[in-house]
Chains A and B, each alone.
Chain A
Amino acid sequence: GEDVEQSLFLSVREGDSSVINCTYTDSSSTYLYWYKQEPGAGLQLLTYIFSNMDMKQDQRLTVLLNKKDKHLSLRIADTQTGDSAIYFCAESTSGGGNKLTFGTGTQLKVEL
């Protein structure tokens, strides 16, 4: 079956690094995504990683994938107050349309 889990809350100080973790159960996942949702807004795609990769870096964002343990993480370097939001990881599988299965979201709070 498909299940994606995330911790609910993370608090960091401005300038520190944030690490948001996610575990998934579907071994047939082909792509894994990180989305950001600000209050009252839709989902903004931050980055994604193909399942045969173990790391992807995009400016302040680093995604690490441990396929053996089905563990995904998002590291945000030099976290800013504008990074405060809810972060969702999501997995997709091939075939039958690109259905995304989302985690419950991690609320990141950045304090001064």
Chain B
Amino acid sequence: ETGVTQSPTHLIKTRGQQVTLRCSSQSGHNTVSWYQQALGQGPQFIFQYYREEENGRGNFPPRFSGLQFPNYSSELNVNALELDDSALYLCASSVPGQYFSTDTQYFGPGTRLTVL
């Protein structure tokens, strides 16, 4: 039990639609990262938020966006859904150490998104 929760558990959308996924972090964890895990692959870094500001982004297009709120919750928004967006979306929260390199990331159970 990591104390990180995600909703919904599963979601089915059609191409072109928009989706919002939610994550609730542990209290005090002011950094949240989002990852996309396609079937049979390792997670891929989407972006990270620290104190409500984006703090690093992976190789994902701008239609992937996020928000972080003061109550340790966050959102991942994906516009204009494509079939390849079907994946497990994981959020991870942490408290950054010096230079952000010593923090341990605690993962939620993920949201399974299917795009038809």
A interface residues, Cβ below 8 angstroms from B: 4, 30-31, 35, 41-45, 48, 88, 90, 92-105
Contacts and interface: CB of A to CB of B under 8 A. Distances in A.
Given A42-B108, A42-B109, A43-B90, A98 B100 contact: yes
B66 interface: no
B101 A99 contact: no
B27 interface: no
A105 B43 CA distance: 9
Contacts of B99: 94-95
A94 B43 contact: no
Interface residues of B, number: 32
A93 B45 CA distance: 13
A41 B105 contact: no
B17 interface: no
Give the interface SS of chain A, mostly helix, strand, loop or mixed.
Answer: strand
A30 B98 CA distance: 12
A33 to B, nearest CB: 8
Given A96-B55, A98-B96, A105-B42, 20 more contacts: A30-B101, A41-B109, A41-B110, A43-B43, A44-B107, A45-B104, A45-B105, A45-B106, A88-B42, A94-B100, A96-B100, A97-B56, A97-B100, A98-B31, A98-B100, A98-B103, A99-B58, A100-B33, A102-B43, A102-B44
